[in-house]
Amino acid sequence: MKYLAFILCFGALLAGCGSAPQELGFRQVDQETAKELMRTEQDYIILDVRTYEEYVEGHIPDAICIPNEVIDEEPLPELDDPDQLILVYCRSGRRSKEAAEKLADAGYTNVVEFGGIIDWTGDIVL
């Protein structure tokens, strides 16, 4: 009987974990939505969080490079307005999610992660 009660409690715990939505401190959008934001918004930063070597091989026009590895949970001098729209990307989307989370933890309130440059269909600066 104790075993059955344990199984039922454990199952309920797992079910509860899977059903609760994860709250992110940033928004995730697709590439088309990111392009629309770039077209319609006035004051934003495009943030490439790849390494500088990757950045110089090709990046989205007007993007600045701050590698994910140097971003921590402290505000950055290059990003002096915590409420400014910051559009974050990397190569595939993994590092941009990590960087977006760290930026949100550092107090940036308008962080938008849009994946990787490997899926980008817009212009690239070489």
> Sorting pLDDT into bands at 50, 70 and 90, what band is 73?
confident
C-alpha 20/C-alpha 49 separation (Å) is: 29
- The residues carrying an active-site annotation are 90
Model confidence over 77-120: pLDDT tens digits? Answer: 999 999 999 999 999 999 999 999 999 999 999 999 999 999 99
Enclosing H/E stretch for 31: helix 31-40
For residue 61, the model assigns a pLDDT of: 97
User: Around Cβ 68, how many Cβ atoms within 10 Å?
Assistant: 20
C-alpha 48/C-alpha 66 separation (Å) is: 6
Yes or no: say if 8 and 98 are a contact pair by the CB < 8 Å rule.
no
pTM of the model: 0.81
Residue 113 pairs in a beta bridge with: 28, 88
Model confidence over 6-55: pLDDT tens digits? Answer: 344 444 444 444 333 346 789 999 999 999 999 999 999 999 999 999 99
Which 3 state secondary structure label does DSSP give 85? Answer: strand
For residue 4, the model assigns a pLDDT of: 39
